[in-house]
Amino acid sequence: MSTTPPTTSGREIANIAIPVSLEFVFILVLNFINQIVVGALGAVAVASVGLVNSLNLIPTMTLGALGTSASILVARAYGAKREKELNTVVSSALMVGIAVSVVVATPLILFPHQILQVFGASADVLKQGPEFMAVLSLSLPFAVLSAIFSGILRSAAHPKSPMVATIITTVLNTPLAIILVFGWLGFPALGIVGAAWATLIITMIKTAVLAFQTYGLYRIAGWELPGNWPSWRLVLIPLVVLAVPLALTTIFWTSGNFIYNVIAQQISNDALAVLQIFGSLEAVFFVASLGLMSAVTALAGRAVGAGNGSLAQAWIAKIKRVGIYTGIGFGLLFAASSLAVPSMFPEIGPEVLIPVTFAILLNAAIQFVKVRIALLGAAILPSGDDVKGVVIGDFIAPFLVGVPITIALAFFTPLGIYGLFMGRTIEEFFKVFFFSWRERRISWQAVADKHFLPEELPDEPTTGIIHIP
């Protein structure tokens, strides 16, 4: 067992958190530019792309759990300097990612019209949406592979590499989308389908860049697959044990958000507009949480892999402190953004502006709580082998606490839309207390001991492991 003293460095946290946060800023910029390009085609085009993108987000985020689980296992293997385990975890995660994403993408590609009908697409949307959905769904396997590669690189001490790949693809995406959407440089004008083709091509390029960084530039891992079931089991069980609960939490989160949108729509169209404007602004200030989540996964995971539970705990304590300051800072910026709402959305009246301002200020005040929830639920508890606690919390918080309270406040009191945001706030406080209680149950040294001396993969040739340097 390692005896490394629990010393931590804020610089090392920043080296991981800042590139990850910047990466997602570029992703937000990319999405915004794509909205502008598609917006030039009219309201029906915007509606079609919006509906398809909202549906596509569910499998993308759900399968992204493979990236999170792979990054945790890679961090442990990297910290323990177990080369064979690192190789097999990386290779197996990629193979599972390809297999599962192809299975999920196939019905979206083959039956887009029927799927959009089920989700209430209008006749106008059904004229453009199905082809856009079919082409966009082709990118799902590459999006999943990108998420896995990104997690691997961050866990193996190369957090800037995914950011570089994202910057490259962001720069390339805009001209490619314009060329394919409007038919420049001799290409046919494909309309919104051109935007889908641009996304597919760019996602493929990003995957290729990340693969080159992983296998070529940094040589993080070799291609090594278990060749028989006992060896596969030793690799797949930890991957699945982490990935499935994390996928469930994503489903619970997206379902909860959908229910809140339904509630807002039942209140009024103005209430729905309030929720949409608020959500688009809050997403900008969530990037800090993403960076700190990656820092927990990488730094605590490496410490666990090295058998040093005290160091893992020290990293987590340090990152949580950084999270408080980050949450306060971003909360102040979020509050300040309320001043820009009238100029950003000049068409809205006071019936939308006032509750939007209320929602921003309320959530700005508890932004440090939201950062803590993100750290606990998406990084600390999974790294501490308590994915069960994450699933329980992410189920109880919206469906047994947040939604019932929101319905009561929104429909049985004069609060209306204000009651919706107050109900969601109560949900957030329940979740942070529940996750904090689960965290206090974790013995980090016990977790480290468990993963420092795992059941090793048998040596060749009994495993039939396929190794390609």
- SS3 per residue for the chain: CCCCCCCCCHHHHHHHHHHHHHHHHHHHHHHHHHHHHHHCCCHHHHHHHHHHHHHHHHHHHHHCHHHHHHHHHHHHHHHHCCHHHHHHHHHHHHHHHHHHHHHHHHHHHHCHHHHHHHCCCCHHHHHHHHHHHHHHHCCHHHHHHHHHHHHHHHHCCCCHHHHHHHHHHHHHHHHHHHHHHHCCCCCCCCCHHHHHHHHHHHHHHHHHHHHHHHHHHCCCCCEEECCCHHHHHHHHHHHHHHHHHHHHHHHHHHHHHHHHHHHHHHHCHHHHHHHHHHHHHHHHCCHHHHHHHHHHHHHHHHHHHCCCHHHHHHHHHHHHHHHHHHHHHHHHHHHHHHHHHHHHCCCCCHHHHHHHHHHHHHHHHCHHHHHHHHHHHHHHHHHCCCHHHHHHHHHHHHHHHHHHHHHHHHHCCCCCHHHHHHHHHHHHHHHHHHHHHHHHCCCHHHHHHHHHCCCCCCCCCCCCCEEEC
Dist. CA 203–CA 169, nearest whole Å: 8
Q: What is the pLDDT of residue 287?
A: 77
Per-residue pLDDT tens over the stretch 224-283: 777 666 667 777 788 888 888 888 888 888 788 878 878 887 888 788 788 878 887 887
Contact 451, 315 (CB under 8 A): no
Q: Which of 8, 11, 68 is nearest to 308 (CA)?
A: 8
- Residues whose CB is less than 8 angstroms from the CB of residue 128 and which lie 6 or more positions away in sequence, other chains included: 44, 45, 48, 191, 192, 193
* Tokens at 240, concatenated: 């699945």
Give dist(CA 326, CA 313) in Å, integer. Answer: 20
CA distance 308 to 324: 25
At residue 462, the pLDDT reads 36
Q: CB-based contacts of 229: which residues, under 8 Å, 6+ apart?
A: none
pLDDT number for residue 166: 87
Distance CA 140, CA 145 (A): 9
pLDDT tens for each residue of the chain, 469 residues long: 444 456 666 788 888 888 888 888 887 777 777 777 777 777 777 777 777 777 777 788 788 788 888 888 888 888 878 788 788 888 888 888 899 899 999 999 999 888 888 877 777 778 878 888 899 899 999 999 998 899 889 888 888 888 889 888 888 888 898 899 888 888 888 888 888 899 899 999 999 999 999 888 888 877 777 766 666 777 778 888 888 888 888 888 878 887 887 888 788 878 878 887 888 788 777 777 888 888 888 888 888 888 899 999 999 999 999 999 999 999 999 999 889 888 877 777 888 889 999 999 999 999 999 999 999 998 899 989 898 999 999 999 999 999 999 999 999 999 999 999 999 999 999 999 999 999 999 999 999 888 765 444 444 433 333 333 3
Q: What is the pLDDT of residue 65?
A: 81
CB atoms within 10 A of CB 332: 13
Spatial neighbors of 43 by CB under 8 A, at least 6 apart, are none
Residues 6+ apart with CB under 8 A from 190: 180, 181, 183, 197
Q: Is 146 exposed, middle or buried (0-12, 13-18, 19+ CB in 10 A)?
A: buried
Give the Cα separation of 7 and 13 in Å (integer). Answer: 12
Q: Which two tokens stand for residue 317?
A: 């304590």
**Closest among 389, 420, 425 to 406, alpha carbons compared:** 420
pLDDT of residue 117: 83
Whose CA is closest to 298, among 100, 92, 8? 8
What is the distance between the alpha carbons of residues 192 and 174, in angstroms, rounded to a whole number? 14
How many Å apart are CA 278 and CA 282, to the nearest integer?
A: 6
Token digits for 285? Answer: 């200030």
Q: What is the pLDDT of residues 436-458, one digit of tens each?
A: 999 999 999 999 888 765 444 44
Residues 71, 75, 76, 82: is their CA dihedral positive or negative? positive
